[in-house]
Each structure stands twice: as C-alpha cells, then as structure tokens.
C-alpha cells in the first residue's frame, strides 16, 4: 500500500493531506487545489482578460480570394495578428500558417469602457476552399476556426437574411440564430438589414456576439445600418436629449459599428463600411445606408448596376419603400431608388424597420406585374421580438403579410432560379416563393 507525503506549501484553501492519505487521495487533493488556483480572481483576470473576444468574419468585395476578421482584446498590442492556412484533415496546417499583422482601433466612447479592437484581411485565398484561422498574439490566441471562401462563377449557394434583431438579443434571438443554423447549415453568409441593436451601447453589442455564439467566427456576415445603429450626440461626455428627454442621434453610424466590423469601402465616400457592394457566385449585392445621402448613393448605385455582369441583383437597406407599420411612408427612399430597381430589373429588395412582415408581389412602377414581365419583390422582416401592428396602406401590392412572428429567411440562388423561404423562430415555414430569370 502506497502513501503520499505531506506538502506544507499548498495554496491557501487547499486541503492539507496527512501521511496516512492514500495516493489515490492525492488525485482529489490536486483537483481541488487546481480548481481553487484556476478560479481565483487574480488568475481568472490574467488568463481570460486578454484572450480575443467578439471575433467576427465579414465578407470583402472579393469574397473568393479574401476574408476580413475583427476581434477585441483588453489591451494595446503592437504584434496582434491573424494566422491562417488551408484546412487539413489533422493539425498539419499549423506549421504552414501565414501570419498577417492586424490594425488596431481604440473604442473610446463617452460612458463606455475603453476597448481595443483589431482587424486583419486574409488575402490571396483560393476560391471555394476551406481555411482555418486564429487571432491574437504570442500565447494569447483564440481557438482555430474554419470558413469557406466563395467559388468562382455562377455556383449555387444559399445565404440567410435577418431583419432587425434590435431588442432582447440574448434572451430572444439566441434560439432563432441557432434554429437558422440548423435549417441552413451550409449557408455561405448571413446578411442583416439594420438595427443590429436597440442602442449603440457596448453591452448590447456584447449580446449581439453572445447570441449566435461561434457562428460569427465561421460564417461570414454582411450588414447595413438602421436608424438605431446611428451614434448618439454628446456634449461634455453626456448624451444630448431633446425637449421630451429622448436621446438625440446623429446621422453618422455609431463608433461601435466602426470598431466591431470590417466591411468593404467601395461605396460612397464618407459612408465606408455602410454603403458598398460585392459579387457572390452570380449575384451582385448592393448594400445601402438608408439613413443619409440617398441621392448620392442612388447615383453610385446607378454606376454599380449599369456594369453588372451577374444574372441576379439583390439590394439590402433598412427603410422600406412600401411601409407596413405605423402608417409611415418613406417617400424619400422610394423616390431615390425605385427608378433604379425598375431600370435594372433588381430581383429582390431586403429591408426592416417596420417590425412586421410584408412581402410584395413582383412590382414595377408601383404596380403588380404578371406573366413573364420583369418585376422586383420587396420584403420587410423582423428577427427580433419587437413588433408593430401591420398597416395595410400598401396591402394591394402585398402577397403575404403578418406581425408578431420572429423570422429568418433562407435564400438560395441556383442558375436561373432564386428560391426564398421564411421561417419562424420555431423552424416552421412561414412564407416562400421562387423567381426565375433568363440571362440578360
């Protein structure tokens, strides 16, 4: 029978074994001591404070050959980087990983904690290829994550679209995001049409990252800002309020948007990362910041769509052309963009803002089209738990309407077919349609 010897220098709180403790008992003693050490406040702070968090992949304007990644750390590090490599069946990729230095941006917003955000672009990637990556520095690295680049040409693919998350994200969006992943595990990216949070505040952005969990690290995203994504106006480090006590927002996207995502900058000057375009396997996506400078963006969109080699065009922004909530009618947005949608035969327009569901028939010049005539389908949807009463002002143009349902949409493009399916948070099919299109 083997006995262990006493060790008088155990950490405070560890049980002290006696000479008659059997060696098997030392396993238990060691486990208790390890738990106390690793969960002590000092060790917890040291081991977790600098591990990268809020890691997110974003599509670039060349998604077949590059991918953007953004992450957050608690300190300033000059050697923060991303390491990436072609995925392998085992861990052979580690030795072949390329290191790309990251750029740093400090989040220094009044009334918010100072935080350090890093971004890097993974370049010279191979189309249609699985890659692994991690972010951090020295011994402070994230886990290895995996993503797939876009393929060249008109290869079929699916993406998932979400209207406004906005409110109670951790509480009520978590299950919807997980259900979306179960429904469309092969989706190549997730798209958001604004109002990612209710307030441009750090804790709400934290919820936005927590709710989908690891998904944001493996499925790239693209998004446009809504009115709730605009930054507050400050005076002497205090938020400006109007006569009714309501917080006043500016026309510039919140600094929290800027530091948390890395999006294309090929749109209107001054609206970088909020107004941009990208092509994905036969579809041109045009992303609009509908909060400001609509006429400038319309002129830019005219240029983008006049030289569009893709069969399909999908446009996303926040404020709908045909309002379905609260009797509001956004004529400025409609006047700016509707002529272009008709002129260039845009297939699908994805919006939010109204906190209802409203999917139009195929429309042209504010009227329903039939037969083989070209038309655009306009959709308003909400993924979050905030709902408004449906307003029937444009009911004659709508094919499906409703409210009080959290929704996500899976959109599949395959050659001349675009298949659209809307699902409720419990995974039930809520709406669907298909568009067909010949080469133009």
Cβ atoms < 10 Å from Cβ of 119: 21
Q: Specify the number of domains making up the chain.
A: 3
Per the DSSP assignment, residues forming a β-bridge with 279 are 284
HSE at residue 189, side-chain half, CA atoms within 13 A, is: 24
Using CA atoms, how far apart are residues 315 and 320, in angstroms rounded to an integer? 11
Using CA atoms, how far apart are residues 135 and 119, in angstroms rounded to an integer? 9
Q: Alpha helix locations (H) across 10-142?
A: 23-38, 41-48, 93-96
Which single residue is written with the structure tokens 């990729």? 93
The answer to whether residues 428 and 196 touch, using CB atoms and an 8 Å cutoff, is: no
Same domain, 340 and 206: yes
Cβ atoms < 10 Å from Cβ of 158: 18
**Domain range enclosing 44:** 1-48
| Residue 349 Cα distances to 30, 129, 188, 204, 343, angstroms | 60, 29, 19, 27, 14
Same domain, 144 and 172: no
Of 114, 148, 182, the position where a domain reaches its end is 148
Query: What pLDDT does 239 receive?
Result: 87
Same domain, 363 and 375: yes
Same domain, 354 and 422: yes
Ranges of the chain with pLDDT below 50: 1-47
Same domain, 389 and 330: yes
Query: What distance lies between CA 336 and its chain's CA centroid?
Result: 26
Q: Alpha helix locations (H) across 321-420?
A: 331-343
What CATH number corresponds to the domain at position 58?
Answer: 2.60.40.380
Task: Kindly give the interhelix angle for 331-343 and 294-306, rounded to the nearest 10 degrees.
Answer: 10
The per-residue pLDDT for range 244-260, each reduced to its tens digit, is 888 888 889 999 999 99
The per-residue pLDDT for range 171-227, each reduced to its tens digit, is 999 999 999 999 999 999 999 999 999 999 999 999 999 999 999 999 999 999 999
Of 48, 64, 80, the position where a domain reaches its end is 48
Same domain, 265 and 245: yes
What CATH number corresponds to the domain at position 418?
Answer: 3.60.21.10
Query: What pLDDT does 30 receive?
Result: 43
Same domain, 213 and 137: no
Which single residue is written with the structure tokens 């560890």? 14
> Hey, is 109 helix, strand or coil?
coil
Task: Kindly give the interhelix angle for 23-38 and 41-48, rounded to the nearest 10 degrees.
Answer: 70
DSSP type of residue 372: T
Q: Say what the pTM is.
A: 0.88
Instruction: Tell me the Cα Rg of the chain.
Output: 25
> Hey, is 11 helix, strand or coil?
coil
Same domain, 227 and 376: yes
Cβ atoms < 10 Å from Cβ of 328: 15
Same domain, 322 and 418: yes
Same domain, 308 and 404: yes
Same domain, 292 and 376: yes
Dihedral sign, CA of 397, 402, 405, 411? negative
Percent of the chain at pLDDT above 70? 88
Same domain, 103 and 200: no
The answer to whether residues 165 and 195 touch, using CB atoms and an 8 Å cutoff, is: yes
Of 48, 63, 87, the position where a domain reaches its end is 48
């Amino acid at each position: 029978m083997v006995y262990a010897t006493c060790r008088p220098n155990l950490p405070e709180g560890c049980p002290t074994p006696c000479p008659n403790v059997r060696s098997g008992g030392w396993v238990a003693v060691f486990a208790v001591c390890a738990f106390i050490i690793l969960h002590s406040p000092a060790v917890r702070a040291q081991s977790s404070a600098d591990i990268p968090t809020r890691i997110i992949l974003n599509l670039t304007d060349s998604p077949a050959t590059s991918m953007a990644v953004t992450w957050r750390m608690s300190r300033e590090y000059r050697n923060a980087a991303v390491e990436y490599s072609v995925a392998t069946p085992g861990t052979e990729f580690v030795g072949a990983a390329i290191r790309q230095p990251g750029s740093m941006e400090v989040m220094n917003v009044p009334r918010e904690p100072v935080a350090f955000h890093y971004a890097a672009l993974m370049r010279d990637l191979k189309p249609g290829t699985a890659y692994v990556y991690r972010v951090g520095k020295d011994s402070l690295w994230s886990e290895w994550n995996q993503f797939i680049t876009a393929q060249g040409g008109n290869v079929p693919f699916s993406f998932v679209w979400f209207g406004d998350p906005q409110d109670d994200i951790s509480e009520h969006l978590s299950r919807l995001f997980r259900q979306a992943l179960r429904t469309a595990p092969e989706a190549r990216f997730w798209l958001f049409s604004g109002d990612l949070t209710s307030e441009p505040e750090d804790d709400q952005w934290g919820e936005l990252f927590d709710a989908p969990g690891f998904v944001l690290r493996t499925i790239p995203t693209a998004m446009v800002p809504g009115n709730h994504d605009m930054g507050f106006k400050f005076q002497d480090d205090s938020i400006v309020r109007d006569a009714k006590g309501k917080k006043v927002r500016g026309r510039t996207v919140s600094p929290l948007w800027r530091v948390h995502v890395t999006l294309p900058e090929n749109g209107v000057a001054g609206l970088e990362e909020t107004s941009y375009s990208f092509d994905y396997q036969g579809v041109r996506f045009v992303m609009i910041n509908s909060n400001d400078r609509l006429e400038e963006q319309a002129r830019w969109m005219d240029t983008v769509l006049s030289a569009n080699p893709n069969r399909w065009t999908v446009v996303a922004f926040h404020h709908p052309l045909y309002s379905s909530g609260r009797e509001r009618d956004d004529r400025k947005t409609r006047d700016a963009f509707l002529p272009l949608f008709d002129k260039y035969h845009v297939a699908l327009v994805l919006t939010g803002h109204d906190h209802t569901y409203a999917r139009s028939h195929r429309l042209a010049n504010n009227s329903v089209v039939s037969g083989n005539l070209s038309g655009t389908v306009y959709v308003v949807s909400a993924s979050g738990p905030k709902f408004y009463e449906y307003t029937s002002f444009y009911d004659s143009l709508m094919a499906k309407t409703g409210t009080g349902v959290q929704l996500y949409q899976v959109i599949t493009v395959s050659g001349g077919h675009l298949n659209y399916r809307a699902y409720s948070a419990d995974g039930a099919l809520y709406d669907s349609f298909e568009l067909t299109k010949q080469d133009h």
